[in-house]
Structure 1
Amino acid sequence: MQDLEEKIAHLIRAVDDLSDTVARQETVIALLNRRVQLLLEREAERESTMDGQSVVGDSRPPHW
């Protein structure tokens, strides 16, 4: 019986650790999604103000 209780305690701890990890990852993913959204908005704004002009430092080399 004690063996089962020990196994259950370890499993509960593992589940709690995984839950904490998932919660941290959710926070990081939400932050990264927000940053990507801001970058997309910034790029869309930059493109709309360029009026078809190209930026020299923004072009990729031909082998890309």
Structure 2
Amino acid sequence: MTSPVSLDEDSVGRIAALEEHVAHQGRTIEELSDQLAEQWKLVEQMRAKLDQLAERFLVVEENSLEAPAITRPPHY
């Protein structure tokens, strides 16, 4: 049977500092993940708007490429 390991005061303090550090890192990772998710939503919205604008541009371009009807100039 193994006996429990006794830790000195310095080791206990170091472990507590490490646990605190890990907790802060966990919170930071969560915050970064939330920010990344928000930015991804924004990117998706911008991509959808860009697709709409590109489609509208193509429609305008197609309509502007039609040749004008050949008519007699007004001075004839």
Distance 1:30 1:50 in 2: 30
Q: What is the aligned residue count? A: 53
**One-letter identity of the residue aligned with 2:43:** I
Query: Where does the alignment leave 5 or more consecutive residues of structure 1 unmatched?
Result: 54-64
Structure (1/2) with the larger helix percentage = 1
Query: Where does the alignment leave 5 or more consecutive residues of structure 2 unmatched?
Result: 1-14, 68-76
- Structure 1 stretches of 4+ with a deviation exceeding 4 A read none
**One-letter identity of the residue aligned with 1:51:** L
Structure (1 or 2) with the larger CA radius of gyration:
2
Percent of paired sites with the same residue: 28
**TM-score if structure 2 supplies the norm length?**
0.66
1:49 aligns with 63
Matched, 1:39 2:65: no
**One-letter identity of the residue aligned with 1:16:** E
**One-letter identity of the residue aligned with 2:26:** I
Give 1:50 deviation, angstroms. 1.1
Distance 1:51 1:30 in 2: 32
**TM-score if structure 1 supplies the norm length?**
0.78
CA root-mean-square deviation: 1.3
Matches within 5 A, 1:1-64: 1-51=15-65
